[in-house]
Structure 1
Amino acid sequence: LAHRFGNAADQPDRVRTYDTDMTDVEWRRIRPLPPVPRWLEGRGGRPESYCHRVMLDAVFYVVDNGIKWRAMPVHFPARDRVYAFFRRWRNSGLIGELHDRLRGKVRETAGRESEPTAAVIDSQSVKADAVVGAGSRGYDGAKKINGRRRHLICDTIGLLLMINVTAADVTDRQAAADMLPALRARFPTITRLWADSGYTGTLITWALNMLHLVVTVIKRSDDVSGFVVLPRRWVVERTFAWLLCTRRLARDHERRPDSSEAMIRWPMTRLMTRRLADPRRA
């Protein structure tokens, strides 16, 4: 079976149809990282009908081109099978597991430890599609946007550590109060966090006393006009720019916030896969 080990690396006749499809070099780097299917470990279930490589390429195509699931090209499996794959990986956390493994590999390739010691936090408000219900959307008065807000924590080279999608009326401090305890539990090596002026107030003292996390606010100078690159803060802004290169993320089209979070992890997974296969970064 082509999907015997959850991959298609042994198909020499496979043709790369779209730019979003993984090359053979990229797949060789990512092949040992996807989670092993339950049926291969004797934990029940039945074999998948399609190999992981084809399914990964299909989801990459949807995210990068911003198409509907019903508009899946004929070169990929049926759209309901691809969506079932996306939904299963979202609900079980498999996309997060694959993403975190790739992040550790990329950090090691860059000459860093696999676990970060510092991070940067920021948020981004995006307009929501009509399918987004009133329970998970709000109005951001500062940006004049009716939709959702993406709260993102990344490491010092811009790789995603945590993501939380909320209504746009949830402030930065409110979201940070929920995210920082989980950040310390997941990454106990992180002791410093850089942020902008939206995170000032009692949050800094609370993070230091309760979490032993030093939050440093980097403010923009009042006597500077125009665009200015701010230390440390530019890293997370660049990560947001990476995300907006995928059309699916230019607007929030997902009914559920956890689907939005999964959609953010997929392009970051694609970005790290290409980095690992780039000979200039080896």
Structure 2
Amino acid sequence: MLECDCLAHRFGNAADNGVRQPRYPTDMTDAEWAAIRPLLPVPGWMRGRGGQPEAYCHRAILDAIRYLVDNGIKWRAMPADFPPWDRVYAFFRRWRDHGMVKEFHDRLRAKVREKLGRDAEPTAGVIDSQSVKADAVVGSDSRGFDGGKLINGRKRHVVVDTLGLLLGVMVTAADTGDRAAARVLLHQVADAHHRLALVWADGGYTGSLVEYCLATLALVLAIVRRSDDQKGFVVLPKRWIVERFFAHLMRTRRLARDYERRTTSAEAMVYWSMILLMTRRLARPHPARG
């Protein structure tokens, strides 16, 4: 009887390397694994696309990436009980380059929405951006200075649904304007989510972008403004949803600063952070109904 039912154990060569025992807070529980196992993309070597059958357990590799993202370690500092760091990174890179991390993330998001009684596809969302400092490894071609936030680094542009789940992310230099990035990001999100009809935004997204969204994307961009007579911190309708999303990212240590050489890796790290959050939500028992 197999000790692990991942595809690498069932059809690959992972059985030669044994089964790892969970020991860290980021390791998936059996309930999490049971929830996500059917949602994992099928490896290319099983679909006749070449490559050798994988030699390391998929569950162990997923746990290794979760550990790295949540604890902010270097790839070469991967604990010894995980598969070798270069094999874990090769898995991360393959999923990044072939869009598999986004595919897996989107499947999880649909399941979380359905578990909460929502349709799998959203009809409304919220857009915003977050500037973060960049590490020294980030080259000058993908970093800039955000004069408003006084941050030298990169900017994460995101669209989330009304539950705060990620619909799309784009990482740019910090000096990229919100409206310029929003044109590209909203086009991508609208193409992927055909039911999306309304997106809330702050005052930084005013101007021609509103007309562009309506005429080109059939999308209503609703601006949520702060009243001139409001003083101090005020929770604004809808905008707090995306602020809560950014707060979650900042609790993920790998995302407290941008350490990635490539913007595609920075985007993948955001997806992995949300995967960690959503697998836990899926594994929770349904709330009791009165």
Question: TM-score, structure 2 length as denominator?
Answer: 0.93
Gaps of at least 5 residues in structure 1 are none
Structure 1 position 39, deviation (Å): 2.3
8 A Cα contact 1:103 1:272, kept in partner: yes
Report the counterpart of residue 8 of structure 2 in structure 1.
Answer: 6
How many residues in Structure 1 have an aligned counterpart in Structure 2? 281
Matched, 1:165 2:167: no
Structure 1 position 76, deviation (Å): 0.4
Matched, 1:215 2:211: no
Matched, 1:47 2:49: no
CA 1:51–1:13 in structure 2 vs 1: closer, same or farther (change >3 Å)?
closer
Structure 1 position 280, deviation (Å): 4.1
Structure 1 position 209, deviation (Å): 1.4
Structure 1 position 30, deviation (Å): 0.6
CA–CA distance in structure 2, aligned partners of residues 197 and 123 of structure 1? 12
Which residue of 114, 120, 139 corresponds with 1:108? 114
Amino acid at match of 1:124: Q
Report the counterpart of residue 91 of structure 1 in structure 2.
Answer: 97
Structure 1 position 4, deviation (Å): 6.3
CA deviation profile, 1:225-245 (whole Å, cap 9, x unmatched): 111111011101100111111
8 A Cα contact 2:6 2:58, kept in partner: no
Q: Percent identity?
A: 61
8 A Cα contact 2:45 2:52, kept in partner: yes
CA–CA distance in structure 1, aligned partners of residues 96 and 277 of structure 2? 19
* Partner SS for 2:79: coil
Q: What aligned pairs does 1:17-166 form with structure 2 within 5 A after superposition?
A: 17-166=23-172
Gaps of at least 5 residues in structure 2 are none
* Partner SS for 2:275: helix
Question: TM-score, structure 1 length as denominator?
Answer: 0.95
**14-23 or 40-49: which moved more?**
40-49
Give RMSD over aligned pairs. 1.9
CA 1:170–1:85 in structure 2 vs 1: closer, same or farther (change >3 Å)?
same
CA deviation profile, 1:168-213 (whole Å, cap 9, x unmatched): 0001100011112222111110010100000001110111112111
CA–CA distance in structure 2, aligned partners of residues 101 and 200 of structure 1? 32
CA deviation profile, 1:101-127 (whole Å, cap 9, x unmatched): 000000000100000001100000000
